[in-house]
Structure 1
Amino acid sequence: MSLTAGALREMRRLAEETPAHRDRHVDLLRAIAIGAVVIGHWLAVHVTYDGGLSGGNVLDLVSWAVPLTWLFQVMPVFFLVGGYANAASLTSHRRRGGDSAAWALRRTDRLLRPTTALLAVLAATALVARALGADGELVGIGVWMAAIPLWFLVAYLAVVVLTPATHALHRRYGLAVPVVLTVLVGAGDAARMLGWAPALGEGNFLFAWLAVHQLGFAWQDGRLPGRPKVGWPLAAVGLAALLLLTVPGPYPLGMVGQNTSPPTLAMLALALTQTGLALASQGPSSRWLRRLRPWMVVVAVNSVIMTLFLWHMTAAVLGALALYPTGLLPDPPPDTTLWLVLRLPWLAALAVILLVLVAVFGPVERRSGPAPAAGARAGAAAGVLTCAGMLAVLAAILAIAMAGPGDHGLTGMSPAALAGYFAGAATLRLTRARFRRAPS
């Protein structure tokens, strides 16, 4: 009880000390998006138990659920609000005389600390499970499911690291940048669909999310103002394009999997729709969030946003292991009424598990790390180390995410990828430590 009371007092203090200039609407959108991601993933997981756990995607088995992905696919919102927040942060950092390397070190700190904790715990848990006699394939499946959020993290980290360069392009060319990126996405779609050069379509993993991130820049500096007269027309154009591209058009209807691997023009149409809705609702949302209680909730969620995201699939794995082999929850086919009814206890059980995980690992995210102060200058040598560390981290996360389910070694992950991640993360941490006391 005292721990809960202490956490509430801390959230209240943070809420009351929020600077007047902070755009609370952006934080609300991030909190709503994480809720949609968590619930959407938990509903999409189909787990079966016949002596061993296995599973798949409900969307592959229940066709009527595919249109619901238009509501639960909120990855564009993360990149939109990320663009807004990164632009504001970088602008403030440069105004104080800081350089790009120091900004990247500071900005990635909160992303990598909880990621390092997740990978370390997954590796240790896999080793313990192996020592206790667990089957290697089962361990691999569990680790793979828990590591599913790393797919998003690869793209987001890359976009963050590229922010100094892409923001410079934005300052010079404005909304022409996302237009060009959209054209590149369309070219990648055409190359993949027509079989000219399917590998070119893989560039959309970067081009599409960069385009949405650039819209966040435009929102932050007022080129896309948060007003209904701007937001509603954008949302209408985006929705019309989405309908044309998917219903009579060549793109599949689903916005999870089908239009995300890689992202397509249809995904960008959904992103434009969501951008318009975000702009249109900014005024009423900001006024509502001046009230203490709703703002406290938003502050609380945002204080552990990465922990919620990174650990929510671990909660699903733990829930499946606790509920299905023990018979506590039946395992009917996902196209039955009973399966639908059982989604409520399934979500409730996973929510309890996730709350426990957040209580344990949330402090890792909230803890102040050895990040350089705002306005610090890293210099050329630190810039090289930052690039090397980030390349190692990105390559390692990508390798782990792409490995798929299976027996990938004692930790359930590629030993080389895991070693590469920790080497890159250590390089970045040591580089950050040099600027911990840099003047702001």
Structure 2
Amino acid sequence: MAIVHAPSTGVPTAPRIPVRDTGVDLVRAVCVAGVVLLHAIMVGVTVTDTGPVFANASDGAWWIVPLSWLLQVMPLFFVIGGFAGLVAYRRQRERGGTASAFVAARIHRLLRPAMIVIGVVGATLAVLTLAGVPLDLVAVAGFRYGQPLWFLGVFLFCQALLPALSALHDRAPLRTIAVLAGLALAVDLARSVTGIDGIGFVNLAFVWLALQQLGFFFADGSVDAFRPRTRGLIAAGAAATLVLAFATGVYSPDLIANINPPTGALLLVGLVHLSLLSLFRERIALLSTRPRIAAVSAFVNRRTMTIYLWHMPVLLAMAGASAIFAMAHGVVLPDPGSALWWLGRPLWLLTALALTAAVAVSFSRFEEKAAPAFSHGISRSVGAVGLGVGAVALLLVVGTTPFTATAAVAAMLLAQRLVAHDQTAPRAASASPTSSAWRSVRTMSGTTPRRPERAPRAR
């Protein structure tokens, strides 16, 4: 039975562990498709007398502002990530799992498909270099590929902290979300006062953690407990505040610009998304049961990370193929933003979706493969998360090259080895009452205290 937080105090009356929500799965699938479409429409490729030119078609374009309001789905993605993560964690705890085991499973699910695509991209860049492709074009390809990888590092970081933030949510839900949101706004203020844009990257933690935390309120039923009119007012109020912030120059009206670095505007977007998701939850759930829609949703949800990780290499390959075809046949590619360019966007977008889906089918086995047994050591989990986040940071800061790709893959492999269970270690019998009780103590405390000595057997 679903019970909720009292809106006035934020104190939970009991834990709630909902069943899998096909409506939420559908929304996640739409978010993934939205990301692919957004990045696909930002690809700009032309050919000049000096060769092909690859650029971001949205740079300085007026159309990115209204489009960003439609396709900026990352706040919703992290809200859903909080919802799904909390549900999975609570179910795992019911089965006697630990926080470390939850984190280890997330490391496996996120890093295993990532190291495959990073390895393939690194090898491809090496081949292009050896084939004589100009180094500046190879560098551009590596840079463009690495840009979306911020999500992998940040999502891994947020999911790793989910058990701890779940405990804070159980004790003080409103205070926890208020602190995270307040810290995010404080970073925005510091950035504005000092004029140092680099300060804003601290919000890679606070903004996305706050959005993940919003998903906890959706998972435990707090949001659905409000009357529909109240949820509508929350959505309208957040949207009005967002428009006011744009009008007064506090935040850019381009929601894509507000992601690099993240700003408090995304918190307002997430609040709008969450309120609307709750308002239309039943309709979305009903829609998700239609056979064709359910099939598409299931296809995407089984391959979420694979699709995300592979869509940029697909787009880069499409851009490269377009340039090669244009140079080989003397075709003039339309300038990004021109009428002819827009005329070709529907075919371009459909091709991007189809090719990404095809590639995802080929590589999804790395994401879908069952996770192995995991170590319960928190120190190993912390080290593995550090290696995974560090590998992504290396590709973002230094750039994706054959060398950095090799280093990133090695770090991800080591991260997974750190949390993998030592198969040579003796295992306690699963049917042992003492072992079961001890697992319960370990689960509740989150630690592994020293096992007491066995009493001598009576003769």
TM normalised by structure 1 equals 0.86
> Residue in 1 aligned with 2:296?
297
2:119–2:405: 8 Å Cα contact kept in structure 1? no
AA in 1 matched with 2:73? V
C-alpha distance in structure 2 between counterparts of 1:231 and 1:49, whole Å: 50
* Alignment of 1:245 onto 2:240: no
Residue 362 (structure 1) aligned to one of 357, 361, 364: 364
- Cα gap change, 1:116 to 1:288, in 2 (>3 Å): same
Partner of 1:393: 388
The equivalences for 1:146-161 within 5 A come to: 146-161=145-160
1:183 matched to which residue of 2? 182
| Alpha carbons 2:57, 2:336 under 8 Å: kept | yes
Of 372, 385, 404, which aligns to 1:413? 404
Inter-partner Cα distance in structure 2 for 1:124 and 1:432: 32
Which has the larger displacement, 325-334 or 87-96? 325-334
Query: Cα gap change, 1:432/1:413 in structure 2, threshold over 3 Å: closer, same or farther?
Result: farther
Q: Are residues 35 and 369 of structure 1, via their aligned partners in 2, closer, same or farther at CA, if it must alter by over 3 Å?
A: same
Measured in 2, the distance between the counterparts of 1:360 and 1:219 equals: 34
**Cα displacement string for residues 320-377 of structure 1 (whole angstroms, at most 9, x for unaligned residues):** 11112212774222231111112123223323322331122122222223254xxxxx
User: 1:53–1:435: structure 2 CA closer, same or farther, 3 Å change rule?
Assistant: farther
Q: How does 1:15-94 map to 2 (within 5 A)?
A: 21-50=19-48, 51-94=50-93
Contact 1:114 1:365 in 2 (8 A): yes
In the other structure, the counterpart of 2:449 is: none
Give the 5 Å matches for 1:9-408: 21-50=19-48, 51-195=50-194, 199-225=198-224, 228-256=228-256, 258-327=257-326, 330-372=332-374, 378-379=375-376, 382-404=377-399
Change (3 A) 1:243 1:364: same
Q: Is contact 2:118–2:405 with CA below 8 Å preserved after alignment?
A: no
Q: Is the 8 A contact 1:113 1:364 kept in 2?
A: yes
Instruction: Give deviations 1:5-43, integer Å, cap 9, x for gaps.
Output: xxxxxxxxxxxxxxx932111111100101111001100
Q: TM-score, normalised by structure 2?
A: 0.82
Counterpart of 2:387, as a letter, is: A
How far, CA to CA, are the matches of 1:437 and 1:319 in structure 2?
53
Q: 1: CA distance between counterparts of 2:199 and 2:416?
A: 30
Long gaps (5+) in structure 1: 1-19, 373-377
Q: Does the 8 A contact of 2:83 with 2:218 survive in 1?
A: yes
| Identity level (%) | 32
User: Number of residue pairs matched?
Assistant: 410
Contact 1:126/1:412, CA 8 A, preserved across alignment: no
- Counterpart of 2:20, as a letter, is R
Can you give the 5+ residue segments of structure 2 that lack an aligned partner in the other structure?
1-17, 431-435, 437-459
Contact residue 191 and residue 199 of structure 2 kept, 8 A = yes
1:370 touches 1:436 (CA, 8 Å); kept in 2? no
Shift of 1:271: 1.2
Query: How far apart in 2 are the matches of 1:311 and 1:199?
Result: 29
Q: What SS class does the counterpart of residue 46 from structure 1 fall into?
A: strand
Structure possessing the higher radius of gyration over alpha carbons: 2
